Structure 1
């Protein structure tokens, strides 16, 4: 059975998250139903595996999944066929690559990258509605960067971990937290780029929600370090909403999509 890696983009708003659920729409279900039109295995209930199980309302620009098919496909044609059958769901296959059997979208991943988009302005957003978290007042980006520096490296992130997180250990290594400030009409957008081998459940949203409190002046930057060292969920700032969060990329020992032409 040939194995294919899929690079997937989606708008998370209509879905209960990535993972298939019996009574709720999911991105996984949408992709598997499209595969079911093309492959008897998926028509009979075969499953795909993804690099990250994004929550309800979370978007992706670089999710990766793998699928085992019963027939051989040209990767480009498979991507085109999937995009045809995915319509009108807001899900797109950006690239497809045939990969060796030992490739696993989740377990082969070396790191995951997330982007969080936060907009500060008084007027409601229109074009970005459902795609960013909006606050009313400008934030101090330098203070947020100072606070974020305390989270870099290997730490026990219990404070920034959901109470229902199923990870075996709260210890993670945060390799990057970069914050950019970009002008918008009558406002400002702040983009948070986070990179790590893996993340705890709600870790990114907990970190960004905490840093927003720093940027708003409600927290001193050093309070982020105190919250981290408390190893207590109660010490965390508010968890920000999901609709500003994007799974933006996944890295592997060898990029399966290198030099791949995207399907139309």
Structure 2
């Protein structure tokens, strides 16, 4: 039995999604809760749509888990997990996954939002998800700097490489808007992201928004194809995984096969 889990979490007190010995992680907490409820001898491994870094939040994370027992009472399991999970993890839904569903490889796109307050101290009630910035940012310049990054590119300049995995991604949306309360929201949508990619993209846009570089500079950074020390990796707390989009059920398996072949490990 493969189950789909729809999750939200406050990443402030976690060392990221991925389980790590001796550290508190989102994956570790959920796998421990599953093992407790189902009385498993060893935790059943979770696969998520996108591994968030330490301090990054999620409102729309998706994961799956494979269980040897195909007679699990899903409604009972949902209630039990909700009572056992810590307050900073919300299990929004739990259901038997459709045939061919893979939380990671079946996804068509992920949508993140990064939030910055650049006109004085922001709302103290939102400080856990909004980064206070000491200098005002030019939104038009940021959007101009985003333009060359849209589409399919080799994003090695904005990623931490992993052995055997590609850093070619298709960036669908990279746009900053100023809300009525002056908080800047940058929406980032792509077929997938590599390690630290969104926060590095934000570092480049902030540098352009401060007028330290012309908007065309982002194109130069992208073309070099390796990390640029001038591109700051922005703080994690401003980043939220808002949504993961999947195709219709009858296209899940084909999408997963296509994504595996393209992205490697």
With normalisation by structure 2, the TM-score equals 0.87
2:259 corresponds to = none
2:209 corresponds to = 215
Distance 1:167 1:215, change over 3 A: farther
Structure 1 segments (4+ residues) deviating >4 Å: 73-77
Q: Paired residues, what number?
A: 249
2:91 corresponds to = 93
Deviates more, 1:222-231 or 1:50-59: 222-231
- Is the aligned partner of 1:138 residue 2:132? no
The 2-side partners of 1:223 and 1:78 are apart by 51
Distance 1:68 1:232, change over 3 A: closer
Q: What is the CA deviation profile of residues 208-258 of structure 1, one whole-angstrom value per residue up to 9, with x for unaligned ones?
A: 1110111111111111111111223126521101111111111112379xx
**Once the 2 structures are TM-superposed, how far is the Cα of residue 7 of structure 1 from its aligned partner?**
0.6
Runs of 5+ unmatched residues, structure 1: 257-264
2:193 corresponds to = 199
**Once the 2 structures are TM-superposed, how far is the Cα of residue 20 of structure 1 from its aligned partner?**
0.5
The 2-side partners of 1:167 and 1:120 are apart by 39
Q: What is the CA deviation profile of residues 36-86 of structure 1, one whole-angstrom value per residue up to 9, with x for unaligned ones?
A: 232133x53221111111110011011111122325345444333211110
With normalisation by structure 1, the TM-score equals 0.87
**Structure 2 matches for 1:79-118, cutoff 5 A?**
79-88=78-87, 90-118=88-116
Distance 1:225 1:66, change over 3 A: same
- Secondary structure of residue in 1 paired with 2:126: coil
1:49 corresponds to = 47
- Secondary structure of residue in 1 paired with 2:141: helix
- Is the aligned partner of 1:178 residue 2:172? no
1:249 corresponds to = 243
